[in-house]
Structure 1
């Protein structure tokens, strides 16, 4: 067997490096786009122009961690909105106002740490801290694991005055 010509020995690693760089650039673009979508959705929500829930794929799998009245796994956008979001909103006189504290994106995942506050129907305050790990596919959120202060949520749901 003859050794490959010098040009082929140089070209093969170069082509491999370009292919990897192209994939890395595509991933970087997708990561930046996902982060931008989340930032914009939270800002729209904060401004009362929309909600981050508009990013959800109809078949999203959303898990609320912990032990609260809405903890569990929901297998669709509608199930999550009906059985988790709506019962929380029913206890509030004002929408939750989110404030993003930190956002990190890597590959198809975005993690956002945020705080939310609202006024309850009884006139008290509701405040909570959240960490959401969101996974994207084709510009839509397909999987979420949401962490929050379940004690604060329990107090809201049982009508206890105020929230820490």
Structure 2
């Protein structure tokens, strides 16, 4: 292979890798912006991060506690969340602590605060590891104090 040919191959490789890196960075920034805006809306009572879920999104609550599980769709997750919100007098209000992104993955560390029906606070810290595809979340692994959530579920009777 001639030197000129090698230089051309190297130049093309650099162009393609730079273009790929730029496209990946743009996707990463877009996904981060979507998450940041969804949490801001949620904090203002105008939606939530759940609005970003694809209909067939897989949601895993990590751990081995009674509330740990895998949900195979947005609808299935909504059914699982309903008994939680039925025990709260106020919606959970998020406060984002940090957002980290790499490629199609965005991780957000956040605190959630609400008041339960028994007038006691429900406070938890969450880390959501979210994978995006075409602007929607397709997979989440949620880390949280599952025992704080289990305590809420056991302690408070749901609203009728």
What band does the TM-score fall into relative to the shorter chain?
over 0.9
Conserved? CA contact 1:101–1:113, under 8 Å: yes
Q: Does 1:42 align with 2:39?
A: yes
Alignment counterpart, residue 25 of structure 2, candidates 24, 28, 32: 28
Counterpart mapping for 1:126-145 below 5 A: 126-145=122-141
Instruction: State the alpha-carbon separation in 2 of the partners of residues 15 and 109 from structure 1.
Output: 28
The alignment status of 1:110 with 2:91, answered yes or no, reads no
Bigger radius of gyration among the two: 1
TM superposition outliers: structure 1 runs of 4+ over 4 Å: none
Q: Deviations over 1:31-50 (max 9, x none)?
A: 01111100110010001011
Q: How many residues get paired? A: 156
- 2:40 is paired with a residue whose SS is helix
RMSD, aligned α-carbons: 1.2
5+ residue gaps, structure 1: none
The alpha-carbon deviation at position 12 of structure 1 amounts to 1.5
SS at match of 1:91: coil
In structure 2, runs of 5+ residues without a counterpart are none
Q: Distance in 2 between matches of 1:112 and 1:31?
A: 13
Contact in 1 for aligned 2:98/2:108 (Cα 8 Å)? yes
Q: In structure 1, how many angstroms separate the alpha carbons of the residues matched to 2:67 and 2:45?
A: 24
Distance in 2 (CA, whole Å) between partners of 1:151 and 1:70 is 8
Cα deviations by residue, 1:83-137 (Å, 9 ceiling, x for unpaired):
2x11110110100000000110001000111000001111111000101100000
- The residue number in structure 1 matching 2:74 is 77
Q: TM-score, normalised by structure 2?
A: 0.93
Structure 1 SS opposite 2:155: coil
Q: Check whether the contact 1:38–1:52 (CA below 8 A) recurs between aligned residues.
A: yes
